[in-house]
Structures are given as C-alpha cells and as structure tokens.
Chain A
Amino acid sequence: MSPPSRLAASARQALAVDALERPARKPIRTRLAVTIAGFGALAVAAIALAPLVGSTHISLSRAFDRSIPFADNVDAQIFFVARLPRVLSGALVGAALAAAGVVFQALLRNPLATPFTLGVSAGASLGAMLVLIFGVSLSVGPFSTVPLASFAGAAVAAGIVYRLATPYRRAMSTAVLLLAGVTLNSFFSALIMFAQYFADFAQAYRASRWLMGDLDVGSYQPIIAAVPLVAIAFAVFAMLPSALNVLSLGPEAAATRGVDVVRAQRLAFFSASLATSAAVSLAGPIGFIGIVVPHLVRLLVGVDHRIVLPASALFGAAFLVACDLGARTLLAPVELPVGVLTAMIGGPFFLWLLVRKG
C-alpha cells in the first residue's frame, strides 16, 4: 500500500471510530436535573400558552377579571370552560401514555411496543362501545358511565393478558405477553365491530368519535376522577427505572444483578396498564404518543430509564398539548379530534423507526 492511501485508510479508520464515539456524559445527578428542568419548562410553557391560543382571540386580563360576572365574561368562559380542561386533560393523558410507553417498551424488551400493544386500549374501547351503543347508564362517585366502562374493559383485558403470560411464581414470558396482547387486540376489535353493527346512526357516530380519541372532555370532573389513578401509577413508576435498565438485558441477567424479576415485572405491568387505562378512559385511545415521545426523548438524552421515564412524562404532556393545539387551530373553525392528528404524525414516524432500525 502506498503511503498516501495508507494515510487515507488510517484517516477513514479514525473517522469511523469518532463516529462511534459518544461524547462523555456528565454524572447522572447533573443530567437528571438538567433534563427535568428542560422538559419541565417545556411542559409548563405548553400548558400556560395553549389556553391563550385558539380560533377566537381572548384577553387574559379580561378572563381573570373578577369584577365581570362569569356569565357575562366570554373571555373567561372560553378560557376556563372551552380551553383549560382540554389542555389539562391533554397534559395528564400525554404524560400517562408516554410514561406507560417507556415502561411497556422496557418490560417487553421491545422499543416498538406501545401502551396499546397489550390489548388494554382495545379492552377500554370495547367497554366504552358497549355502554355507548346499548345506552347503559351507570356512574360511581366521580366516574361517569363511559370512563367507568372503558376502565373496566381495560382492567379485564390486562387481567386476561397477565394470566396467560404468567406461569406460577415464574417470570413473565414476554413472547406470550406480546402474542396474547396482539390476539386480544384483534379479538376485541371484532367484538367492537359486532356491537357497532347493531347500533343506530347516532350511536355509531358517537362510538366512532370516541374511538378517534378526543381531549374535548367537557368539564373538570372526568379529569379529577383520572388524576388519582395516574398518580398511583406514577408513584409505582418512580420505583422502577433502575430495575427497567437491568431488565432490558433480559430477565436472567436482571436477576443476577439483584433485581427481583417477578416483582419488578408485575409492578411494571400493572402500573403501566393503570396509567394507560386512566388515560384511555378519559380521552379515548389517542395513538402513538406512547411510542413517538419516548423515542424522541431517547434521541435527546440517551436510553437510561432513570432519565428517559421522567423526561418522557414531561415531554408527553407538552407534546399532546401542542398536538391538541394544532388539532384545534389548523382547520379552524373545525376542531379535529387530536387522535386523528397524532395518528397522522405517528404512523410515518413508526415506519421511519422501523426502517432506521433495519
């Protein structure tokens, strides 16, 4: 080899090594603080700004002017009745779905898993469809009929999948989890179509609107009902991140690094199912948040779950609020259900991930 070409070869080699090299990272404490501050600021900004924007211009000072009676204050009505509940439910649902996505991806050891992969959302949808179409009315405490029915449907689906994938006192089989979830999804979809076939036009319209996923929840009451469920799920999430890191090496590798695998898998499965159920029962199945957000976050902060999980919750809140703002304003005065918009963003994104991986 002549000297110049040898030089070129060694330069290429050096470049290749540089391309693989990641910049040295700061200690975990610093990274965690910076990430939470950054994504937290983004979430706060989205929640604070989104209610101010919309098809009608409102004056913030007028909206908060207590001297004007609420019944006469149009700005206050738009702010507090039309927009704020939508923004708050967007933040809650976005945070819950994004964090549940992170947990399911680690549990299933599959970066392409979503909160809806295991059939929880299909169960929720079936529950909602049944009460919407057959006109059942039931409510317990702060829970109204549709959220209650969809939550019950989600719980049934999670229970079935869990039973199938968990041999007595042994670690869950992620392969069985995935297959059971996918099968349950299509079985429940068939039941939904069956139920829809017997609906009249008005019922079928309401049902298909629900299935699109919409943050137009109407009042604060369903949000208040969902908050404690999401809070319980997040309290469990807080215990999981370092176990999720080790679990992503596989259950046996995790066990030999001191993880109580059966317990960690159970906590992860039920907390992520709870967060998903609460989100879906509030706003319907808003797709792709649980996969788009964690992947964008990983591109920015790496894959350590101790950082990815809180960052995804905060970014999920900001992301869904922003998507909903788009859904309200892009075709104004028409307001799209946000689930349509997230699916239009998420579908191509998912395919891009698939191609990039290959």
Chain B
Amino acid sequence: MTLSADRVSYSYAGPPKGGHYDGLNRAGHDASSEFALRDVSVTIAPRSLTGLLGPNGCGKTTLLKLMSGVLKPELGSVRLGQRELRGLSARAIAQQIAVVPQETHPAFDFTVLEMVLMGRHPHLGAFQLEGPDDLAIARESLAATGTAQLAHRSYTTLSGGEKQRVVIASALAQKPTVLLLDEPTASLDLGYQLEIASLLKELNRERRVTMVLATHDLNLAASLCDTLVLLREGQVLMQGPTREVLTSATVKQLYGVIADVSFHERAGHITVIPVQRP
C-alpha cells in the first residue's frame, strides 16, 4: 500500500488561538511562523526504500511521526492506501505501520523475547495472551535479525547494535507493510552501521517491507535507498530517485557544505565526501 502525506503542516505550538485555521490560507504561512513542517507532500511507493535527508531541525522526525500517526497533522492528511490515518485507531495503524526509533529504553528489565513479543500487541485483544503462533512469529523475527541466541538475555545488558537489531525484530513481529526508521544507526559504530544497513536491505528485498529511513548518514542513504526526500526548513526541497537527487548541488543546498559526490565502483553506490564549508 502507498503511504502518502498530502500537503501536511504541523506545529508543536499547537493550533493558533481560536482553535482553527479559518481565514489563514496556506500560502499565508511564511517562514517566520512556527511550523515544523509546512505544506509537505510525499509519496512512498509500495516496497520502496526511501531516505529522508536534511539538516537538524528540518522536520525529518516530525514527518516520520505524522506518517506513523503518533502526531496528527494540523493541515492536510496522511493516507495509507485510500484510508486517512486520522480515522484509524492506533491499533489499526500499528497492524500496518511499525516504527524503529533512534533508541529504546524500557523502564523495566524485560528479556529480549518479551521485547519482541510486544510487537504482537496490536494483533492481540485487551485480555488475550500471546499464543503459539505469536511466539513463532517472535522467534522468526529474532532469527531474521540474527538475534535468536539472545532470546533469554536481559535487553538492558545488550550492546547498542544488538539492542537496535532486537528493536527491529520487535517491529517485524508487528508484521507491518511499512517500517519507519528514525536514524537507526546514529549511535552505532561503523561495523554495526553496515550490519544494520545490510539487514534492512535484505528485509526490504525479501519481505517486501516498505521502508522510510530518516538519517544524517548520506553514504548510508546512498547505499540503501532507491528514493530520497530532501527536507529543508520544514519543506520539501526535492524528491526522486537517489541517483538524480543526491548531487554536490543538493548537498550544498541542504547543509552548506561543498562535497565530492561520485559513484564508487567497489562500494557499488554513490558516495559523498565532504570537502569544506565555504
């Protein structure tokens, strides 16, 4: 199913005094208004792997939260297929869309298997306990992320890379059609970054999970994503195929950095090497 944002705007300050937008036309929102996102339209094709790029504070995380239904847009709409997220319950959304945040800190000492079984929550009734089928899905998700041997470990004792793989397993246990990831490799070392990247690529290809990935790592985005959305100051600067969108010109526009952008034969993808700040 296609996930799309249609002319969405969102402000953390809440709606203007008086409660609604009558008398405010969309063009009237100038750059000085406090919108985290303004009039953003994005279409995520089924089974694509889309990267969200942009400097700090450009609205990447806000857009992900709108697309997962955690935040509701003040203007515009977010749709999954034909249905607007606003009209769906959290449970119905979670049966289709799963989220992997940058970091996950449970308040209690859950085991890895318990963490992954929480992914079954949207598929269980309020009084329903997980059954053998749910356990099988959880075990399979652990296996898919290479964490089966950690099932009975305490989550809090894992390394950063292991934790992130377990959280991805928990998201897979939701059996989502769309997976949204917010800087999933931000706190990981180079080895784990490559590991998570190849895991995501594999899951996208083999399980046909649509993925949207917000990241600061341009090389990660270049190696993984078939489509890129560039955000700047809460607005879409450009969106399209990675090859067309990721250029020295757009890197300069986004980050104000002069960079060499070229195809790397041995890596097999475009690479970005920052050269200087003019």
Chain A interface residues (CB < 8 Å from chain B): 20-25, 27-29, 32, 105-106, 109-111, 168, 238-239, 242-243, 245-246, 248-250, 252-253, 255-261, 298, 302-304, 306
Contacts and interface: CB of A to CB of B under 8 A. Distances in A.
A255 B130 CA distance: 19
Contacts of B157: 20
Contacts of B70: 252, 255-256
Given A250-B105, A260-B89, A255 B69 contact: yes
A258 B95 contact: yes
Contacts of B94: 256-258
A302 B107 contact: no
Interface string B124-150: 101101101001000000000000000
Interface stretch (B96-104, B185-193, B214-222, B235-243): B96-104
Given A252-B70, A253-B101, A258 B121 contact: yes
A29 to B, nearest CB: 6
B122 A257 contact: yes
Contacts of A256: 68-70, 94, 97-99
A308 to B, nearest CB: 9
Contact of B104 (A20, A239, A253, A304): A253
19 contacts: A22-B153, A22-B154, A25-B111, A27-B135, A28-B130, A243-B126, A248-B106, A249-B104, A250-B105, A252-B65, A255-B68, A255-B90, A257-B121, A258-B121, A258-B122, A303-B109, A303-B114, A304-B110, A306-B129
Contacts of A303: 108-110, 114
Contact of B107 (A238, A248, A306): A248
B261 interface: no
What 5 A-B pairs are tightest by C-beta distance, nearest first?
A: A258-B122, A258-B94, A258-B91, A109-B107, A303-B108
A304 to B, nearest CB: 6
B93 interface: yes
Contacts of B126: 239, 242-243
Contacts of A20: 153-154, 157
Contacts of A28: 129-130
A257 B129 contact: no
A243 B90 CA distance: 12
B118 interface: yes
Contacts, number: 103
Contacts of A32: 129
B119 interface: yes
- Chain A facing B: main interface SS: loop
A258 B174 CA distance: 10
A118 B124 CA distance: 32
A236 to B, nearest CB: 11
Contact of A22 (B89, B111, B129, B174): B111
A312 to B, nearest CB: 13
A72 B121 CA distance: 60
Contacts of A259: 90, 121
A23 B154 CA distance: 11
Given A256-B70, A256-B98, A25 B121 contact: no
B90 A258 contact: yes
Nearest to A262: B90
Interface in B71-102: 89-95, 97-99, 101
Contacts of B107: 105-106, 109-111, 248-249
A27 B126 CA distance: 18
Most A CB contacts (10 A, CB to CB) among B108, B110, B111, B154 go to B108
A242 B111 contact: no
Given A168-B14, A256-B68, 19 more contacts: A32-B129, A109-B107, A245-B110, A245-B118, A248-B106, A249-B107, A250-B104, A250-B105, A252-B65, A252-B101, A253-B101, A255-B68, A257-B94, A257-B174, A258-B89, A259-B90, A260-B90, A302-B111, A303-B109
B167 to A, nearest CB: 9
A257 B119 contact: yes
Contacts of B26: none
B135 A242 contact: no
A252 B92 CA distance: 16
A298 B108 contact: yes
B105 A24 contact: no
Contacts of B119: 257
